[in-house]
Chains A and B, each alone.
Chain A
C-alpha cells in the first residue's frame, strides 16, 4: 500500500519543505565555535573542501578551506549555505510508520526495522527473491554505496538493485569504457589550464559545476580557445571564443563534422592512430559523409561554426574535452559521448599534461557511487557481475558461495516497468527521490501506488518518502563519516561533524540492522564506516577502480588520493593513460564509429517545440535539501519556462505570463522567462521541483539501449498561455511545488 496516507498539502504542513533562514545560534557573530571541522560540501561531484563551525553539537556556520587544492576556498552558493540544512525544522528525527488517514506516526526502531525485514521476507517468500528491489544513490559515501551492493546480494539476495547514478552520467561511463576501458575522467583538473583548445559539450559549468569555471577562465588567460556547445547561451558560453547553439540532439553533427574537416586538413595524428588505436578505418568511413553542410543540418547550426570549431580544435598543441548531461541525457547518450571522445583520440592528445578529457560528474559521489557495486550489473571495484573470475573474488571477500550472488538485475527504469508489470512488489530506497527525478513522472507515481511495500531511508520527508509505508530517519553527510570520490577520481574524506539529531541514525547502521534481521548479522558486523572502507579496499583490489592502497590517513595527509592506487606505496593516479597505455587487453584505445540517430520523440505538428531540462545554480538535484534552505530558494524560487522572444511572440506570450508546457505524458504550469539566450525552437524548464511544477511530468520514458540513461534532454511539447492556477497544489509555497 504505497500511497500518501493523507493529502499532499497536509503532508507539506507537517513535514515541509519549509525554509530555514536563520543559522543555529542565530546570526550572532559573538558565538565562538567549539570546533572547526575540515570536510567537504555534500552537493555535486566537485566535492569542494569546506570547514564547518560547530557549537554544542550544532553546525552554526562555515569558513572557507583555502588549503584544499581543488577549490582553494572557492564555493558556490549551495556550498556557502549548505550548513543551513542542519538544525532544520523539517528534519526527520525518528522512524515513521504510515497510518491511513492520519499521516505518519513515530515508532520505535525495533518496530520499524522488524516491519521492513518482515515485509522483505514476506514478499520474497510469496513472489520470489527478485520481487523485492533496492535503490541506492550517488550522493552516498563509497562506504554506503559498497554496503548497499553487498546488502542486496548477501542479505536481501535480490538481483534488482540499481541507483540514481543511472540518471546522471552512465552514458559517459559506457562510452569511456568502450574506448579506453576505464570509466573515469582521464585527467586531473590541473590539466585544464594547460590546454590550448577546450571543447565544452553540453555542460552548464557555471551553474552545475561552478568551481570548474575558474579552471576554464585560467586556461583562457593562458591563451586557450574555448568552444561551448549548448542550446542555451549559458554564462560560460557568453564569454567563449566560439559558442555553438547546437539543437538538442544535434551534437553528433558537430563532432563528426569536426572530424571530417580535421581529416581533410590533416589535423589528425596518424602515427598515434596506427600505434595505439583500433577501429580508425570505420570511423573515417563513417564521418566521410559528414561534410560541413550535412553536419550543419544535423547540428541545426551554420556550417561555418563547425568549420571554426575544427579550426580551433584540430591544430591545437594541447586540448581538453569536457562533457556533461547535455550530451549524456539522450537515448543516443553513449553515441554522443563516443563521438566527442573520438575527437580526442584522433589527435592523440591524451595521457599527458594539458591533454585529455573528462565527464563532469554531477552528483556528490557521482564517481565513487558508480564503482562500489550498487549498480545492477556490477560488483565492487567496478567489477562485472557476469564475469566468473570477478564473482569468485567477491564471493571470497563476502564469504558466500559464488553461485549465491545474484546475476545482473534490472536498471532503474526497467525496475519501475517491472513494478507496473507486477513482477516487483516491494522496494527499499535511499538517497533517491524518483518522484521528482524520474522521467514520465505520472508513470512513476502509478508504480509507487502499485507496490505492496515501500520503505525509504531519508533525512527529510522527500516527495518520494511520502509514498512509504515506513520512513527510516537516516543521516545527512555531516552526521556520518566516510569517503567520496570527486570528479577527478580523487578519493576524499568527509568528517563526522555532528551527531544525527533525536533518534535519527547513521544510514550504514540502519542497513546493517536490517541485514541482521534477515539473518546476516555476521556479514554486516561493522562497528564503523572505516571498517566498511577497509573491506571495500580489499574488495576493490585488482579491480579497475583499485582503492587498495588508499587509507583514510593517506587521504587526510595528501588532500585525497586518485584511484587506481593498488598499494600503500603507490602515489595514486591523477592522470590516466600516460605513455599511451589504455586499459583494453590489447593496450590500445578503441575508436567507435558513430552515426547520428533521431531522438525517441521528435517534434511534430501537434507538439512542435523541443523541451530540454536541466539545473540552476542554487539547487541540487531533486531539491530535497536545497528547497529547504531559504537563501537558495530566494535565489531561484520556482521553475520558469525559458523561451526565445521569437517563439513567445508566435505564441502570444509575454515575460512573466503563466504558461502550460504540455507533452503527451503531462504538463507543468509555470511563468515564462522570455530571453534571447535560447534557441527559438527549444524551451527550457529546470527540474528541481515536484508535483505540478515537475519538469519530469513531460519528459519521455525512453532509455539509451547501452547505458539505460533516460532522455531528459529532448521531448516534444506545446506551450500555451494560461490563467494563474489556484488549485490546492498551486497554492502551496513555491518550495513545495506551488506557483506564484
Chain B
C-alpha cells in the first residue's frame, strides 16, 4: 500500500491556460532531470489562446510497445508504460510514428526514445507526478475517481476511437457528460471553426 494507491491521472483540456508550469516541472523529475517529456501544444495561436497538455496516456495495450522491434518499451504491473530501456532501444522511431497521441520523442543526442513515465520514481514512493502536482489550473490532476466525480461537471473517460483502432488508456480525459468515447477523425480536425474566438467578430454583436 503506498500513498498513490487509488489515485488516477485526469486531463481536462478546457482548463488549460498554457502557462507551461507542467513543462518546467517535468524536467525537475529525478528520472530524467533536465529533460522535459510532457508536451504543451499551442493549438492555433493566430486564432485562439487555446493550449493542450499531453502526457503519455499509458494505453492498456500500448501501440508503441507493440511496434517496437527491440522490445524496449515495458509496462509495469500497475499499468504504467515506461520510457524505453536504454540497453534495448535502437532509436528506430517506430514508436514515435505509431503513437496516436504523439507522445514518444526520439532524442538524437542519446539515440534513444524518451517519453513520460507518469513520474514513476515519484508515484512509486507515494508522491504525485510533478506536472499534476504543480498544474495551477487543474487541467492535470492526480486524484481519486470519486473526487473527480464529486467536484467536476464533466465525465472522465478513457476510450478512444482512432479510425478503425480502438484504444483504452490508463489516463482519463474529462469530456461533457453525454460523450462515451472520443472519436478522433481527420474530418473533425479540419472543420473546427475558430471564428467564435475572433474578437473582431465578438464586437459586431448578435
User: A-side interface residues toward B, CB under 8 Å?
Assistant: 22, 27-29, 61-62, 64, 66, 71, 73-77, 79-81, 206-207, 210-211, 213-214, 217-218, 220-221, 232-236, 238-239, 243, 245, 300-305, 617-618, 631-632, 635, 644-646, 655, 673-680
Known: A676-B46, A677-B49. A210 touches B21 (CB 8 A): yes
What is the CA–CA distance of A28 and B34 in the complex, to the nearest angstrom? 9
User: B63-71, B91-99, B177-185, B195-203: which lies at the A interface?
Assistant: B195-203
CB pair A677–B19 under 8 Å, yes or no, is no
CB pair A206–B18 under 8 Å, yes or no, is yes
CB pair A79–B199 under 8 Å, yes or no, is no
What is the CA–CA distance of A214 and B17 in the complex, to the nearest angstrom? 10
- For A27, the chain B residues whose CB sits under 8 A away are 33-34
- B37-51 vs A: 1/0 string, CB under 8 Å? 000000001111111
Pick the contact of B205: A220, A234, A302 (CB < 8 A).
A302
Of chain A, the residue at the smallest CB distance from B45 is A675
CB pair B33–A676 under 8 Å, yes or no, is no
Residue B153 CB within 8 A of the other chain? yes
CB pair A214–B30 under 8 Å, yes or no, is no
CB pair A676–B200 under 8 Å, yes or no, is yes
- For B28, the chain A residues whose CB sits under 8 A away are 61-62, 80
Known: A27-B34, A214-B138. A64 touches B197 (CB 8 A): no
- B2-42 vs A: 1/0 string, CB under 8 Å? 00000000000011111111011101101101100000000
- For A635, the chain B residues whose CB sits under 8 A away are 20, 24
User: Known pairs A27-B33, A75-B21, A235-B19. 14 more at Cβ < 8 A?
Assistant: A27-B34, A66-B133, A77-B19, A79-B21, A80-B28, A221-B151, A221-B153, A235-B18, A236-B17, A245-B203, A302-B206, A304-B205, A646-B200, A676-B197
CB pair A77–B24 under 8 Å, yes or no, is yes
Pick the contact of B200: A236, A238, A304, A644 (CB < 8 A).
A644
Q: How far is the CB of B195 from chain A (nearest CB, A)?
A: 9
Residue B204 CB within 8 A of the other chain? yes
* Consensus secondary structure, chain B interface: loop
Known: A29-B30, A233-B197, A245-B199. A77 touches B23 (CB 8 A): yes
- For A680, the chain B residues whose CB sits under 8 A away are 199-200, 203
Q: How far is the CB of A637 from chain B (nearest CB, A)?
A: 13
Of chain A, the residue at the smallest CB distance from B134 is A75
- For A632, the chain B residues whose CB sits under 8 A away are 24
- For A301, the chain B residues whose CB sits under 8 A away are 202-203
Of chain B, the residue at the smallest CB distance from A21 is B34
Which one of B15, B16, B27, B48 has the highest number of Cβ atoms from chain A below 10 Å of its Cβ? B15
Q: How far is the CB of B203 from chain A (nearest CB, A)?
A: 6
Residue B144 CB within 8 A of the other chain? no
Residue B85 CB within 8 A of the other chain? no
Q: How far is the CB of B9 from chain A (nearest CB, A)?
A: 15
Residue B135 CB within 8 A of the other chain? yes
Residue B136 CB within 8 A of the other chain? yes
CB pair A217–B138 under 8 Å, yes or no, is yes
For this complex, 19 residue pairs linking A to B, each with C-beta atoms less than 8 Å apart, are A77-B24, A80-B25, A81-B24, A210-B19, A213-B137, A217-B15, A217-B137, A233-B49, A239-B15, A302-B204, A304-B205, A617-B19, A635-B24, A675-B45, A676-B194, A676-B197, A676-B198, A680-B199, A680-B203
